[in-house]
Amino acid sequence: MLGSNCTQATEFSLVGFTENPATQVTLFLLFLLTYLVTILGNLGMITLIRASPLLHSPMYYFLGNLAFVNLCTSTMITPRMLFGVFLGKKRMAYAGCLAQVFTSALFLVTECFLLAVMAYDRYVAICQPLLYPLVMSPERCSQLVTWSYLLGLTNGMGQTIGMSSLFFCGSSTINLFFCDISLLILLSTSDTTLSLAILRTASSLLGVPSILVVLASYVAIIPTILSISSAEGKHKAFSTCASHLTIVSIFYGALIFMYLVPRSDTSRGGEKWVAVLYTVVTPMLNPWIYSLRNQEVKEAWRRL
């Protein structure tokens, strides 16, 4: 119940990683370098896919959209973290926090479904190669990507509605470097039933199915790859799938910890570093993992 002297918070305070000045400088430079590499890698990947005819296929169409989502995710979070948490401007207005909840919820769920679509694409290419041109037609690919964005938009709107119904007493401190809806629910002094219902429903109906699609795809893919007689074909298939599995493991592992594992006092200390994995690390790794391990991308760079 709200106290009579409690007023709605108009801003939030974001907690940094450390109070040690030397460590702060080191982390600032590290995250700044990571952000610059993220921008360079994802913009380069988008440009290369659009410019090279070698990469005009469903797999790279999905990868180009993944690079765009990674670019948006990183840009919405990392610059604010650099200039806020590390440079002393830790306070964020309520409206800014609301916008960050919307954008992060939108792009995280969109990335979940893009990764699931990419796993399904690999399944059809490896397990059903004769049906691939029909199943993964340009129209079908556009529909899959459009639905990924629409589901992300639905999640963003739902989480924003959930936050707008919350009441925060005075100046609230968020033990993270961006506004995350799961932590905001814990900070609220009002009834959180609606917000919790939206968060749990979104996690169950949007997060879990995308994970199951990835798992089911690779359960079928791995035996098929092992049955390939050609060593070159087996190596190519494994190389492509290994890149995708690396990103999927890091990204989904971090999201499961943040949104599906019950909160405990012992787990809260590591939340900010887990959040770094899916907001900072994977957007940086995506373009480089797919380019360094992919001969078609390397050849496209050489020709370009």
Tell me whether residue 105 is in a domain. yes
Tell me whether residue 204 is in a domain. yes
Tell me whether residue 20 is in a domain. yes
267: confidence class by pLDDT, cuts 50, 70, 90: very low
Over 80: is that where the pLDDT of 105 sits? yes
- Greatest mean pLDDT among 48-52, 169-173, 255-259 lies in 48-52
Over 50: is that where the pLDDT of 1 sits? no
Tell me whether residue 281 is in a domain. yes
Q: Domain containing 34: what range?
A: 11-289
Over 70: is that where the pLDDT of 201 sits? yes
CATH of the domain at 211: 1.20.1070.10
65: confidence class by pLDDT, cuts 50, 70, 90: very high
Say which range, 56-70, 73-87, 266-280, has the weakest mean pLDDT: 266-280
Higher pLDDT, 238 or 81: 81
3: confidence class by pLDDT, cuts 50, 70, 90: very low
Say which range, 26-40, 179-193, 224-238, has the weakest mean pLDDT: 224-238
Q: What is the pLDDT of residue 83?
A: 81
Per-residue model confidence as pLDDT tens digits over 37-48: 999 999 999 999
Which of 285, 290, 293 has its CA nearest to residue 34?
Answer: 285
Residue by residue, DSSP assigns 220-232 as HHHHHHHT---HH
19: confidence class by pLDDT, cuts 50, 70, 90: confident
Tell me whether residue 296 is in a domain. no
Tell me whether residue 33 is in a domain. yes
Per-residue model confidence as pLDDT tens digits over 129-157: 899 999 999 999 999 999 999 999 999 99
Tell me whether residue 269 is in a domain. yes
Instruction: Report the share of the chain in percent with pLDDT over 70.
Output: 91
Which residues, listed in sequence order, are joined to residue 8 by a DSSP beta bridge? 169
pTM of the shown model: 0.89
DSSP-derived 3-state class of residue 12: strand
DSSP-derived 3-state class of residue 75: helix
Give me the number of domains the chain comprises: 1
Tell me whether residue 202 is in a domain. yes
Helices marked H in the chain: 21-51, 58-84, 94-127, 132-135, 138-164, 181-187, 193-202, 208-226, 231-255, 265-268, 271-276, 282-292, 295-303
| Sign of the CA dihedral running 118, 78, 76, 35 | negative
